[in-house]
Structure 1
Amino acid sequence: MTRKFKLALAMAALALSAQAAFAQKPGVERLYIMNCGEGVAGDIGRWSPGVNEGKPMDFVDTCYLIKHSQGWFLWDTGIADAVAAMPNGLVPADPKAVTWRRPKTLASQLEQIGVKPADVKVMGVSHTHPDHIGNVEMFPQARLYVQKVEYDWPGANNEPRFKPSHPVELLAGDKDVFGDGSITILSTPGHTPGHQSLMVRLPKTGVVVLSGDAVHFKDNWDNRRVPSMNANKDQSAASMQKIADTLDKEKAQLWINHDKAQRDTQKMSPEFYN
């Protein structure tokens, strides 16, 4: 075998190796922000005790679909799609709470980008309030990541919060979902006993932290206000500090789920972040 032939073989092997590495490159490829509800809170004083008492405020509800090299991951599922058919929206018994509407269904937004519910193999929810788990059973085959303390937390009339048949992985803290550091569930209790947030590493956008309801809008974040309905005030404060430390360490952005002013500046599906 001549030296020239050996060199050619070595270069060909190197090229194939590079192609394989590129094809198998782990990580997040894109992130879609989906409209999962819009509403008006009758009195935002419950979210910011002692401030803005009696004032109404627009809310949004957001879901995030993430394309990872190992498959589709959905974070939060929003208000139930069935609300789209309600002329007056989902009206709460308490006029101070949020009246939710569903201008776009989650199903239609998935269809718009060519994703079937069956394509979603893994999902997580920040917590088990209805505006975050409304469409969980649209994905009966998807493995659901939830903190064990949240899963065991009794629902209305002590009923379970998910169908017992739904595949679930119960967590006791942070979780690196795909084992490559690209999508990490962060345990951030306080709003509910097992609330969690999500850290996502995007190749161009950088690191973003999806708040869930660890914080509801920017003014509360800036002033570290804890809503009166939260399960635990001290845990809530500690979780906000954990998020702040994460933002600082990772040079990350905080995307606040219910903050309309922020979401109005963001690209919505079918556009995406990469």
Structure 2
Amino acid sequence: MNKVVGLAALAAVLWSVNGAQAQTAERLYILNCGEGVAGDISRWSPGVNEGKSMDFVDNCYLIKHKQDWFLWDTGIPDAVAAMPNGLAPADPKAVTWKRPKTLAAQLDAIGVKPADIKAMAVSHTHPDHIGNVEMFPQAMLYVQKAEYEWPGADNKPRFNPAHPVTQLEGDRDVFGDGSVTILATPGHTPGHQSLLVKLPNTGALVLSGDAVHFKSNWDNRGVPALNVSKEQTLASMQRIADTLTKDKAQLWINHDKAQRDGLKLAPEFYD
């Protein structure tokens, strides 16, 4: 009996080791996909910070998986880099965006060509997240069906219909090994999604998309007035909080400049 118990314990240890090795997300790069200034951040936290301006950033994330390169969000269009005054919003309370570095140049500095990226996903279809999707016309795009079918301006499609797409109805383990998992977090938009990444040394990270915009927004559970559903937004925030606890994960808030300034940017990386 003791021998059987010993073999079972050894098997459990081997399974644990092999399971850790099987998670083959190897590196994660943070790319500067835009910097801007918000005119009035109460737009994202109604009733709080009325009239207060704030610097915003816009991050994209490139993940090297054993199988492939995977891109999360594509940021402000690279063309904005040529605009000296940036891209001004129609709503003065929103963000005026600039592009200090192009996405193409940052990929080149890492030694990655657009054609090397075989799969990608966007958190949602607001312009500061989909600005360079068609830089990667061959990459499989993972997007929630509810987001894909959400009518754009003048009822136009939000994506090029010719772009290869996998329409999701919930979560997706992208590589089948638990290292990169798309989490359905609707509310900001009908098919908003976040990303859970598990790295060998850094551990687990949740990339927020726009489920939350900055730390005080997260701490106060502030729901932007323009979100499509307050109830879904709050439920998605709770889901993220539960994921942080379950996976002992860090929350990386996409637009939070104070947090981003304390992180390593490409060509440095997390592993």
User: Is TM (by shorter chain) over 0.5?
Assistant: yes
1:240 pairs with 2:215: no
The corresponding residue for 1:143 is 140
Return the alpha-carbon distance in structure 2 between the equivalents of residues 198 and 26 of structure 1. 15
1:272 pairs with 2:269: yes
* Deviation (angstroms), 1:27: 1.0
Q: Which amino acid aligns with 1:126?
A: S
CA shift in 2, pair 1:51/1:26, >3 Å: closer
Does the aligned pair in 2 maintain the 1:38–1:61 contact within 8 Å? yes
* Deviation (angstroms), 1:223: 1.1
The corresponding residue for 2:14 is none
Which secondary structure does the structure 2 equivalent of 1:40 belong to? strand
Q: What stretches of structure 1 move > 4 A for 4+ residues in a row?
A: none
Q: Deviations over 1:34-67 (max 9, x none)?
A: 0000000111111010010111110000000000
Return the alpha-carbon distance in structure 1 between the equivalents of residues 220 and 89 of structure 2. 28
Which secondary structure does the structure 2 equivalent of 1:150 belong to? helix
Return the alpha-carbon distance in structure 2 between the equivalents of residues 99 and 62 of structure 1. 15
What do you get for the CA RMSD once the two structures are aligned? 1.0
The corresponding residue for 1:115 is 112
The corresponding residue for 2:123 is 126
Q: Which amino acid aligns with 2:100?
A: P
Return the alpha-carbon distance in structure 1 between the equivalents of residues 179 and 22 of structure 2. 12
In the comparison of the two structures, how many residue pairs are matched?
252
1:56 pairs with 2:71: no
CA shift in 2, pair 1:26/1:242, >3 Å: closer
Return the alpha-carbon distance in structure 1 between the equivalents of residues 223 and 64 of structure 2. 33
1:67 pairs with 2:78: no
Return the alpha-carbon distance in structure 1 between the equivalents of residues 56 and 154 of structure 2. 28
* Deviation (angstroms), 1:185: 0.2
The corresponding residue for 2:99 is 102
Unmatched tracts of structure 1, length 5 or more: 1-20
Alignment of 1:192-231 (within 5 A): 192-231=189-228
Does the aligned pair in 2 maintain the 1:122–1:143 contact within 8 Å? yes
Q: Deviations over 1:73-115 (max 9, x none)?
A: 0000000000000111001122111000000000000000100
The corresponding residue for 2:15 is none
Q: Deviations over 1:164-201 (max 9, x none)?
A: 10000000000000000000000000000000000000
Give the TM-score normalised by structure 1: 0.91
Indicate the structure (1 or 2) with the bigger Cα radius of gyration: 1
* Deviation (angstroms), 1:25: 5.1
Which secondary structure does the structure 1 equivalent of 2:46 belong to? coil
Q: Which amino acid aligns with 2:115?
A: A
* Deviation (angstroms), 1:236: 0.1
Return the alpha-carbon distance in structure 1 between the equivalents of residues 100 and 160 of structure 2. 27
Return the alpha-carbon distance in structure 2 between the equivalents of residues 205 and 25 of structure 1. 16
Percentage of identical aligned residues? 78
Does the aligned pair in 2 maintain the 1:25–1:69 contact within 8 Å? no
Q: Deviations over 1:121-153 (max 9, x none)?
A: 000000000000000000000000000000000
Q: Which amino acid aligns with 1:134?
A: G
Which secondary structure does the structure 2 equivalent of 1:123 belong to? strand
Q: Which amino acid aligns with 1:160?
A: P
Which secondary structure does the structure 2 equivalent of 1:52 belong to? coil
Unmatched tracts of structure 2, length 5 or more: 1-17
